[in-house]
Amino acid sequence: MIPAAFDYQRAASLDEALGLVGTGGTKVIAGGMSILPLMKLRLASPDRLVDIGRLAELKGVRRLPDGRVAVGALTTYTELADSPAQHYGLIRDALPDIGDVQVRNRGTVGGSVAHCDPASDLPAVLLALDAEIVARSNRGENVYPANGFFQGAFQTALADDELITEVRLPGPRDDAGSAYVSMSQKASGYSIVGVAAVVIRGSDGPITGAGIALTGVGEAPYRARAVEEALVGSDGSAGAIAAASAHATDGVTVNGDIHADAAYRTAMAAIYTRRAIEAALGRLG
């Protein structure tokens, strides 16, 4: 289909972009992998698109003085895969299966986070990592914890006048292993069930920390707190992992659609959570 008519303006700087967002009917475009399909289907009809795709200050991946990794909002999936962020096992797992080659070359980290598709892979990864999402407006800078940022289908905590500028990932640690596993819908690449797992464990000791997040299951990506609570303090045995994974959908209204009904998704959520935890533990020492 053809989109409805709209105005277009390319921002030459971040300050210019911040002066344009927040007005009624204005949407931001970067890679265009999310907004353009919606416009073609007339599920979105913005009055104006503000193009931030050429803002160099929002691109690139760098290490921060405290050891964390900052990922610019306009960094593409392909650029992220070739960056220092590749030392996170779950990022290495997730990126190759996101969309197709075109999507990975054009789609941006900030766009995926702001769009908050219920089946998007990257939000689950950020949740499991306890990442931070940095946003700017003319009022100043705001740092959001990933947990709590994704509020519903295509809904985030981002204010109307804010732009995501970067995502901050925790620094690497020797006692942590991570993994991402998913059951994908082959035509679209979206996850029917996707699970990101970060597991912290000392040498031959019990599990001391965990971050488990799921996508494709509920109305938005979410942290599986009940799984984490059951996992922490356990010995990480097969039985302990299976028992913890059984809580993958606790308190969640599970989606049902043409690809998988709610009962099947619930069963797969437990199975894929178990697989993600096992894979994360397998990357420890």
Identify any residues that bridge with 198 across adjacent strands, giving them in sequence order: 178, 211
**Domains of the chain, start order:** 7-51 (3.30.43.10), 56-169 (3.30.465.10), 176-282 (3.30.390.50)
What is residue 268's predicted lDDT score, i.e. its pLDDT?
98
With a cut of 70, say whether residue 184 has pLDDT above it: yes
By residue count, the chain amounts to 285
Nearest to 110 by CA among 84, 82, 138, 149: 149
Nearest to 150 by CA among 83, 93, 217: 217
The whole-angstrom separation of Cα 187 and Cα 72 is: 29
C-beta separation of 262 from 256 below 8 A: yes
With a cut of 90, say whether residue 113 has pLDDT above it: yes
| pTM given for the model | 0.94
Q: What is the pLDDT of the chain when averaged over all its residues?
A: 93
The whole-angstrom separation of Cα 99 and Cα 103 is: 6
For the stretch 121-169, pLDDT in tens is: 999 999 999 999 999 999 999 999 999 999 999 999 999 999 999 999 9
Among residues of the chain, what percentage have pLDDT more than 90? 75
For the stretch 203-256, pLDDT in tens is: 878 999 999 999 999 999 999 999 999 999 999 999 999 999 999 999 999 999
